[in-house]
Amino acid sequence: MEVLDPIHGEIQLNNAEVAVLDSAAYQRLRSIKQLGFSEFSFRGATHNRYLHSLGVCHLAGRAFDSIFKKFEFSSPALRQRLRQTTRLAALLHDIGHGPLSHTTEDVMPQLKDLKLKAYDLKKNPPNPERQANHEDYSIKFLTDSSLTKVLRENFSDIDPMAIACLVDTQLPAPTGFFRDGDWDFRPVLSQIISSEMDVDRMDYLGRDAYFCGTNYGKVELGWLIGNLNVHAENGVLHLALNRRALYTFDDFLLSRHHMHLMVYFHHKSIIFEEMLSRYLTSSDCTFFLPSDIEEYIQCTDHSLYEHLKTVDNPWARRIAERRPFRMLFEFHSDHESDRAEKIEKGLEKQGVPVIRASAQARLSKYHSGNPSAKNPTIYVIDEYDYRSRPEPIEQCTKIFKNYENTRSIDRLYVAPEDLEKSENFLAEHRL
């Protein structure tokens, strides 16, 4: 089947993949918007995780083909199995995403309620008492749900656990699944799915830019993917990039950074998140996410919005009626500042309720600390220099160092009816 995508054009899917698309678990993603509340600031941003995930799947295949274009696998079947596994992990990387935004993780159950047997196989299993998150739901969907059945029926040579392994690097791999002779493919395939240069970002930057109508996220995707490569270090395969695309990589990181600053952290999205969080953590909240994975399939943006219409909580009402608090003050800096806090206190003394929200944008966490197993090194290969040998990417570009600092955005919001009064107070007191 071909699917028409405004971003990548025609996307080809095989019949087994179409069966996954037709599953209830995957169809649910139609009703999960990619950017949650961002449609309140960028009205075109109504796109959903259904199409994003298809795009990621498509790019995973393209990335795989580029990385291994000169690589000799022991058999075409093995190559095909690893490629298909990577495409499936890409397609399903977001399958457990909660309604609307990460904020709804506030109302997820304890991990133990999910009965996630796959985690028992981990070396260091997580605390069963901790609150579950959307990644836990993803692993549950992949390894123990109606979706697992669909995967088994349609991909007889792929253990769903192998797909899960590319989403969660802590899970142990089915024996030999990612091996070809001396080579261990798991790290590089994991990096395709999740790393500083993963296909998730490659898809969402351009897609979000397209639907929002901005240019910030537009990157040189063809050149980046065409210059992906692989580097073997002690039998372990790592993701690599040809040096001639290194500035493209810089541009890619900066595009994401600017999308964060200008789109994802827009003050209107943030205030809706804040209000939702206030409702979800209030004592009268009646919205919960079920631990039963099949029931969870019913939990969508729609069901949450419909719920919000029916309750009396003031934050829920403000969201339902689109009467958000409005931004009074905004302060950007590279260092900590107590100005927002001071103004907040001043206003509260006046009896004005204030929401203070703070967002931190950082180009990347990649360079800080040593690369861990979770985050294998990306290498740079210079094909034009006889003396060069592959080097870790953080030694080849200064971008990580240049943008090491976190960018703080502090904001204060007040109710619309308090806005004028608050502005006058600020002007008068020169706060």
CB of 334 to its own copies, least distance (A): 7
From the list 119-127, 253-261, 280-288, 365-373, the region that binds its own copies by CB under 8 A is 253-261
Nearest to 362 by CA among 274, 258, 262: 258
Residue type, 255: S
* Residue 342 engages its own copies in binding (rule: CB under 8 A): no
Measured on CA atoms in the order 104, 110, 113, 114, is the torsion positive or negative? positive
Q: Which is nearer to its own copies, 69 or 117 (CB)?
A: 69
- Using CA atoms, how far apart are residues 395 and 379, in angstroms rounded to an integer? 9
Nearest to 206 by CA among 195, 219, 197: 219
Contact 288, 342 (CB under 8 A): no
- Using CA atoms, how far apart are residues 100 and 35, in angstroms rounded to an integer? 8
Strands 354-361 and 228-233: unpaired
CB of 111 to its own copies, least distance (A): 27
Q: Which is nearer to its own copies, 332 or 345 (CB)?
A: 332
Q: Which is nearer to its own copies, 14 or 46 (CB)?
A: 46
CB of 290 to its own copies, least distance (A): 14
- Using CA atoms, how far apart are residues 365 and 61, in angstroms rounded to an integer? 26
Measured on CA atoms in the order 272, 266, 356, 368, is the torsion positive or negative? positive
* Residue 334 engages its own copies in binding (rule: CB under 8 A): yes
Strands 379-381 and 236-242: parallel
* Residue 386 engages its own copies in binding (rule: CB under 8 A): yes
Three-state SS at 236: strand
* Residue 261 engages its own copies in binding (rule: CB under 8 A): yes
Q: Which is nearer to its own copies, 47 or 81 (CB)?
A: 47
**Chain mean position to CA 28:** 17
How many separate helices (H) and strands (E) can be counted in the chain? 18, 11
Q: Which is nearer to its own copies, 30 or 179 (CB)?
A: 30
Helix (H) or strand (E) holding 61: helix 49-67
Q: Which is nearer to its own copies, 116 or 380 (CB)?
A: 380
* Residue 385 engages its own copies in binding (rule: CB under 8 A): yes
Q: Which of 153, 292, 321, 348 binds its own copies (CB under 8 A)?
A: 321
Q: Which of 331, 364, 391, 406 binds its own copies (CB under 8 A)?
A: 331
Q: Which of 250, 282, 285, 317 binds its own copies (CB under 8 A)?
A: 250
**Positions 42 through 101 that interact with its own copies (CB under 8 A):** 42-44, 46-48, 50-51, 54
Rounded to 5°, the CA angle 113-166-55 comes to: 105
**Positions 195 through 234 that interact with its own copies (CB under 8 A):** 210-216, 218-220, 222-223, 226
Q: Which of 113, 330, 338, 420 binds its own copies (CB under 8 A)?
A: 330
- Give the DSSP per-residue string, 6-17: TTTEEEE--HHH
- Using CA atoms, how far apart are residues 396 and 388, in angstroms rounded to an integer? 12
Helix (H) or strand (E) holding 428: helix 419-429
Measured on CA atoms in the order 17, 33, 201, 42, is the torsion positive or negative? positive
Q: Which is nearer to its own copies, 178 or 249 (CB)?
A: 249
* Residue 336 engages its own copies in binding (rule: CB under 8 A): no
Contact 237, 213 (CB under 8 A): no
Q: Which is nearer to its own copies, 11 or 173 (CB)?
A: 11
Contact 400, 367 (CB under 8 A): yes
Helix (H) or strand (E) holding 5: strand 2-5
Q: Which residue has the tokens 């935004």?
A: 101
CB of 6 to its own copies, least distance (A): 3
**Positions 402 through 421 that interact with its own copies (CB under 8 A):** 402-403, 405
- 370: Cβ–Cβ under 8 A, 6 or more apart, which residues? none
Q: Which of 138, 169, 248, 377 binds its own copies (CB under 8 A)?
A: 248
* Residue 247 engages its own copies in binding (rule: CB under 8 A): yes
| Residue span 156-195 as binding mask against its own copies, x where in contact by CB under 8 A, dash where not | ----------------------------------------
Q: Which is nearer to its own copies, 236 or 261 (CB)?
A: 261
**Positions 125 through 144 that interact with its own copies (CB under 8 A):** none
Q: Which of 22, 284, 341, 417 binds its own copies (CB under 8 A)?
A: 22
CB of 249 to its own copies, least distance (A): 11
Q: Which of 262, 285, 311, 419 binds its own copies (CB under 8 A)?
A: 262
Going by the DSSP 8-state scheme, the letter that residue 181 receives in this structure is T
Q: Which is nearer to its own copies, 6 or 125 (CB)?
A: 6
From the list 82-90, 107-115, 324-332, 368-376, the region that binds its own copies by CB under 8 A is 324-332
Q: How many residues bind its own copies (CB under 8 A)?
A: 73
